[in-house]
Amino acid sequence: MTMKNYSYHYGRGHKDFSLEESKVLKEVVMPAVPPMEDIKAGVLEAIYNPIGSAPINEIVKPGDTIAFICNDPTRVANSYDFMPVLVNEMNALGVKDEDMHIVFALGSHRLMDEKEMIEAVGAEVAGRLEMFNSDAKKPEDFDYFGDTSRGTPVWINKLLNHVDHVIFTGTIVHHYFSGYGGGRKAVLPGCSALETIRVNHSFMMDPAAGLGKTIGNPVYEDQMEGIALWAEGRSTFLFNAILDADHRFLKMFAGDYVEAHIEACKFVDYVYGVEVPKAADVVIASCGGYPKDINVYQMQKTMDNAWCAVREGGVVIILAECEEGSGSAVLEETCKRLGTAAAIKAELEEHFAIGANKAFAVTRLMEKAKFILVSAVDKELAKNLLFEASVDTVEEALKIAEQTVGADYNVILMPNGSLTVPIVK
């Protein structure tokens, strides 16, 4: 019996564990793509050779005003690497610092404090440009642009509506119900009012919504229609990057927010989609550490990816510290009050609510397999959220898993579960 040692990201550190080598079907890792060596050159190459758009120097003119949209801390974006390059290049094109500002695309997430904003874009840029949270809960901060054909009222933050150009930034990964991150998501839901987000996200209940899907996906199509209402007659420019598991830049895409995003998503499929030989009895998945495992709300993306690799009736073990607990009082309240995945789904179909939608996203996965947390999440809270257990070590989790799958189980390992999507051959 040969044992093999593993060390997976967990919070701001690692969790170590050992497994019998013969049990491991596959370790799901991204294909080897060399990281970009010169970030500044990569940014400039992207914006001067964009997809579906004129180069940036033909768009931006001296004296213009610009709003940048940047990611919040729940998403790894490395904005501090590319924002100084973008801002300095705008200066070179004749745009003054005082004529630019940054809007953080919070969607329905919590507000950022000044320290987090500085960390996000770097001290140099933070000291030069005004920075704002897009607070979905302040209706007075938004302008109305009409309704989509599906009935989503399009309310977009005023900070984007009175400038010459809006530059969307961020990174792209698969998204469990809107297909992919990045692109239009910077604005809708990123800088939209709560009711806009609520109605749009209600389409996640539709079976046609899903990971890696755009065509026919009602969430994605509604977002595209909504942003088109806002973007008409407006100058927009996309800058999206794809990172590897160590948060290094692999490739950058810039230009038209539709065309450049479509090309970027093809690359996302290539680097994050990984074939596995068959669905496993047990999947052990790390989110990839902080901030991907900052709370249960964010950890759910890893649950979704791991779900793709587990057999019906199997067990998924998730390594996620969750230093901020569940990340949502509404998520906790919904799970505790309703107590089953079926009851949560029924209530959401009756009345869709942000926060409660995450209760559906988490618990619907548990109908296929049991989920055990290796986490700092309180044991009682884990039970309320319908997890099988919350334990301190992988070994403890495997003991619990054996009660379901027996001692002769096979395993798929996912060291970067928030990124990689297992595809069963």
How many domains does the structure of the chain reveal?
Answer: 2
Of 221, 242, 271, which one is at a domain's C-terminal end? 271
Please tell me the distance from the alpha carbon of residue 408 to that of residue 388, in angstroms, as a whole number. Answer: 20
Residue 226 phi, psi (nearest 5): -65, -45
Residues 261 and 281 grouped into a single domain: no
10-residue mean pLDDT profile of the chain (425 residues): values are 95 97 96 94 98 98 98 88 98 98 95 96 97 98 98 98 98 95 97 98 96 96 98 98 94 98 97 95 97 93 96 98 94 95 95 92 96 97 97 98 97 96 91
CATH number, position 327? 3.90.226.30
pLDDT of residue 284: 98
Residues 260 and 290 grouped into a single domain: no
Across the beta sheet with 370-374, what order do the strands follow? Answer: 24-27, 411-414, 280-286, 310-319, 370-374, 389-391
pLDDT of residue 74: 77
* Tokens of residue 59, six digits: 């768009």
Residues 57 and 199 grouped into a single domain: yes
Q: Give the CA radius of gyration of the chain.
A: 21
Residues 303 and 389 grouped into a single domain: yes
pLDDT of residue 92: 98
pLDDT of residue 180: 97
Tally Cβ neighbours within 10 Å of residue 145.
19
Residues 43 and 22 grouped into a single domain: no
Please tell me the distance from the alpha carbon of residue 421 to that of residue 410, in angstroms, as a whole number. Answer: 19
Across the beta sheet with 165-171, what order do the strands follow? Answer: 130-133, 100-105, 66-71, 165-171, 235-243, 249-255
pLDDT of residue 355: 85
Find out whether 296 and 385 touch, Cβ atoms under 8 Å: yes
Residues 261 and 283 grouped into a single domain: no
Please tell me the distance from the alpha carbon of residue 125 to that of residue 114, in angstroms, as a whole number. Answer: 13
For the chain, what is the HEC assignment? CCEEEEEEEECCEEEEEEEEHHHEEEECCCCCCCCCCCHHHHHHHHHHCCECCCCHHHHCCCCCCEEEEEECCCCCCCHHHHHHHHHHHHHHCCCCHHHEEEEEECCCCCCCCHHHHHHHHCHHHHHHCEEEECCCCCHHHEEEEEECCCCCEEEEEHHHCCCCEEEEEEECCEECCCEECCHHHHCCCCCECHHHHHHHHHHHHCCCCCCCCCCCCHHHHHHHHHHHHHHCCCEEEEEEEEECCCCCEEEEEEECCCHHHHHHHHHHHHHHEEEECCCEEEEEEECCCCCCCCCHHHHHHHHHHHHCCEEEEEEEEEECCCCCCCCCHHHHHHHHHHCCHHHHHHHHHHCCCCCHHHHHHHHHHHHCCEEEEECCCCHHHHHHCCCCEEECCHHHHHHHHHHHHCCCCCEEEECCCCCCEEEEC
Residues 345 and 197 grouped into a single domain: no
pLDDT of residue 174: 94
Look at residues 85, 160, 98 and name the one whose alpha carbon lies nearest to residue 130: 98
Residues 242 and 336 grouped into a single domain: no
Residues 244 and 282 grouped into a single domain: no
Separation of CA 326 from chain center = 16
Of 250, 271, 292, which one is at a domain's C-terminal end? 271
Please tell me the distance from the alpha carbon of residue 67 to that of residue 191, in angstroms, as a whole number. Answer: 12
Residue 59 CB partners (closer than 8 Å, separation 6+): 53, 165, 235, 237
Please tell me the distance from the alpha carbon of residue 421 to that of residue 85, in angstroms, as a whole number. Answer: 32
Whether the pTM exceeds 0.85: the reply is yes
Please tell me the distance from the alpha carbon of residue 237 to that of residue 234, in angstroms, as a whole number. Answer: 10
Of 271, 290, 313, which one is at a domain's C-terminal end? 271
Range of the structural domain that residue 282 is part of: 3-30+277-424
Residues 307 and 399 grouped into a single domain: yes
CATH number, position 233? 3.40.50.11440
Residues 220 and 365 grouped into a single domain: no
Residues 103 and 163 grouped into a single domain: yes
Residue 71 CB partners (closer than 8 Å, separation 6+): 77, 79, 104, 105, 120, 169, 170, 171
